[in-house]
Amino acid sequence: MRLAELSTRSGVSVATIKYYLREGLLPQGRQINATTSEYDEEHLRRLRLVRAMIQIGRVPVATVREVLGHVDDDSLGRTIRLGAALWALPQVPEPDEDDEYVRAAHREVGALLDRLGWQHARQLTSISPAYRSLVVALAAFRRLGFDWGAEQLAPYAELMHRTAVLDLDSMEAYPSDAEQVEFAILGAILNEPALQALHRLAQEEESARRYGFE
């Protein structure tokens, strides 16, 4: 397809597509002559991914470029490729390691991972943004006086593991490694807010069942 058709099918303006091409977010098309290039379904799929990351995920262009670099890096194994792409997305600030609540949170999260038998996650604690996010959240709970630790988190973690199984089952339905990683990126941007919304709806439903609307 030509650039105009790519624009029509994607809903992205020609000017924006040209910008994405200049920034390296979209692969160059096949050159037909000095002024015309041809694009295919992979360009359309990548364009939709870029648009979702920027418009819905509010991911900066430089970060999108970094994430897509990991997606396209065939030298990486699937787990590292997926992890590197997800880790490049915006994350919480680094926890203050001198904070006593942060140190206590590290101990509790470590105890949680040991309790669950998540040894691979245990090995990634020094580099995993998800681990840091959990530490920051748990430290905030404890700073406010709530005794929230491994015992309380374990049932939630088990539910999340079941969710992860569903995520990867869905991801593996796509034929190529690049498509699978792209699906995982979209999942991080779109599915996590949907799961958060479902969690809140479930809380509203259970609250109404228990306490009514008084």
Domain residue ranges in the chain = 3-87, 100-211
Which pLDDT score is estimated for 85? 67
pTM more than 0.85: no
Please tell me the total number of residues recorded for the chain in this structure.
Answer: 214
- Which residues neighbour 30 within 8 Å (Cβ) at sequence distance 6 or greater? 37, 38, 39, 40
Sequence letter at residue 24: G
Which candidate, 55, 57, 51, 58, places its Cα nearest to that of 25?
51
* One-letter amino acid for residue 126 of the chain: S
3-state secondary structure 24-77: CCCCCCEECCCCCEECCHHHHHHHHHHHHHHHHCCCCHHHHHHHHHHHCCCCCC
**Cα(209)–Cα(170) distance, integer angstroms:** 32
pLDDT of residue 214: 66
pLDDT at 66: 83
Residue 105 confidence (pLDDT): 93
Per-residue confidence of the chain (214 residues) as pLDDT tens digits? 888 898 999 888 999 999 999 999 988 888 887 778 898 888 988 898 898 888 877 888 988 888 888 778 777 777 777 777 677 667 777 788 888 999 999 999 999 999 999 988 888 777 788 888 899 999 999 899 988 888 999 999 999 999 889 988 988 898 887 788 788 878 777 777 888 899 999 999 999 999 987 6
Q: Are the beta carbons of 78 and 214 closer than 8 angstroms?
A: no
CATH number 1.10.1660.10 given to 3-87? yes
Tokens 């959240």 correspond to what residue? 137
